[in-house]
């Protein structure tokens, strides 16, 4: 399994858990895809976009199971980041855990 991770704010996680689908954060909706990270890029993503946030959830999915809707595209520093070009579904989630941000 190749894990890809989406950080969700507490209110995003609550809405996702209630509806079973997450269309994206305001940044995701603006860009046309759901921004995701790898385990290696997650700390940088958290520091850049979620500094000081509390109640974050790290939602893990299997990249292969997301199929062609997941594309690896260059982003920060030219690194390839996973971008999901559809809503995230609860059925996609293989794990979720609280994520502390320093």
CB burial readout 60-71, b (16+ within 10 A) else e: bbebeebeeebe
Residue 91 is encoded by which pair of tokens?
Answer: 């059925």
Closest CA to 59 of 90, 80, 25: 90
Q: How many domains does the chain have?
A: 1
- Is residue 9 scored above 70 in pLDDT? yes
Range of the domain at 74: 3-98
- Is residue 90 scored above 80 in pLDDT? yes
The CATH number assigned to the domain holding 39 equals: 3.20.170.20
pLDDT digits (tens, 9 = 90+) for 12-30: 999 999 999 999 999 999 9
Our measurement of the distance from residue 86's CA atom to the centroid of its chain's CA atoms, rounded to an integer in Å, reads 12
């Amino acid at each position: 399994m190749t894990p890809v991770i989406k950080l969700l704010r507490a209110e995003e996680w609550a809405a996702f858990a209630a509806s079973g689908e997450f269309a994206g954060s305001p940044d995701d909706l603006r860009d046309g895809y759901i921004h995701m990270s790898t385990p290696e890029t997650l700390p940088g993503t958290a520091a850049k976009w979620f500094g000081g946030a509390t109640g974050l959830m790290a939602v893990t999915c299997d990249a292969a199971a997301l199929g062609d809707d997941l594309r690896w595209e260059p982003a920060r520093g030219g690194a390839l980041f996973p971008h999901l070009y559809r809503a995230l579904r609860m059925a996609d989630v293989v794990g979720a855990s609280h994520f502390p941000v320093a």
